[in-house]
């Protein structure tokens, strides 16, 4: 049985000050072995003297949550190690980007998200239909996203082909990849608008450094 896993994350508080809302989907065919790249990543963490902390890019950059007691140099080491893991792992991804000012309310954003998701899935319907089972992993963090996932996948695919699993990043490396993809694509928006901040400069460097070291390597996986 061919199985496809879809890992979902979002970036940008719907009611906050952020200009954009991002929705990331990471696709991993279970026949594509992740074991080797995971072992290399865990080995690299050990060599660097780092604990295996589940990656959460925004807290890492800001020094919050699990990274609160870490110096920037140590957090940068985590970022570099995970970036190498992303570069060599077998997955594809897509990020939907929305400028929040273009939507009058959450309902209108949700409607656009569902429409975009359906169009994207139909653009790749032959690939999706090549799998016997599709599993979607999302932590139900935003009801708007959960509704879009249900409506989009159940419209494009047979209902019985989709299984929903509550998931946490500490249990799935690819959920961490979805988080990373959201964060890097959000940083790309800032660099493109010349709105990068001191934290971006500290961890990503100049726009040229960011594109070479982070964005280009991630987008090699773009679907």
| Residue-level length of the chain | 223
**pLDDT at position 32, please?**
95
CA distance 134 to 4: 5
Distance of CA 97 to the CA centre of its chain: 12
CA distance 194 to 5: 35
Q: Is 22 helix (H, G, I), strand (E, B) or coil?
A: strand
**pLDDT at position 170, please?**
72
Q: Output Rg (C-alpha) for the chain, integer angstroms.
A: 17
**pLDDT at position 119, please?**
96
Each of the 223 residues of the chain gets a pLDDT tens digit; together they read 899 999 999 987 665 677 899 999 999 999 999 999 999 999 999 999 999 999 999 999 999 999 999 999 999 999 999 999 999 999 999 999 999 889 988 889 999 999 999 999 999 999 998 998 899 999 877 888 888 998 899 888 876 657 777 777 777 999 999 999 999 999 999 999 999 999 999 999 999 999 999 999 999 999 9
Q: Is 10 helix (H, G, I), strand (E, B) or coil?
A: strand
pTM: 0.94
In DSSP terms, 20 is beta-bridged to 99
**pLDDT at position 168, please?**
76
CA distance 54 to 49: 15
Q: Tokens 């979902």 sit at which residue?
A: 8
CB–CB of 157/128 below 8 Å?
yes
CA dist 127 → 9, 25, 61, 85, 122 (Å): 22, 15, 35, 25, 10
CB–CB of 179/55 below 8 Å?
yes
**pLDDT at position 159, please?**
66
> Could you report how far apart the first and last alpha carbons of the chain are, in Å?
23
CB–CB of 90/220 below 8 Å?
no
């Amino acid at each position: 049985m061919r199985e496809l896993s879809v890992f979902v994350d979002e970036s940008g508080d719907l009611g906050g000050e952020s200009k954009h809302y991002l929705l990331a989907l990471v696709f991993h065919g279970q026949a594509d072995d992740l074991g080797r790249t995971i072992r290399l990543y865990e080995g690299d963490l050990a060599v660097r003297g780092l604990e295996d902390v589940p990656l959460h890019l925004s807290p890492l950059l800001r020094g919050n949550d699990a990274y609160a007691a870490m110096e920037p140099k140590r957090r940068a080491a985590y970022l570099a190690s995970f970036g190498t893991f992303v570069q060599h792992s077998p997955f594809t991804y897509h990020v939907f980007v929305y400028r929040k000012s273009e939507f009058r309310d959450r309902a209108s954003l949700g409607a656009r998200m569902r429409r975009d998701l359906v169009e994207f899935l139909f653009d790749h319907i032959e690939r999706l239909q090549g799998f016997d089972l599709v599993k979607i992993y999302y932590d139900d963090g935003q009801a708007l996203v959960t509704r879009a996932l249900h409506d989009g996948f159940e419209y494009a695919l047979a209902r019985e082909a989709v299984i929903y699993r509550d998931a946490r990043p500490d249990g799935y490396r690819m959920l961490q990849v979805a988080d990373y993809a959201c964060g890097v694509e959000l940083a790309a928006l800032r660099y493109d608008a010349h709105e990068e901040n001191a934290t971006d400069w500290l961890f990503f460097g100049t726009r040229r450094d960011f594109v070479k070291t982070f964005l280009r390597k991630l987008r090699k996986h773009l679907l």
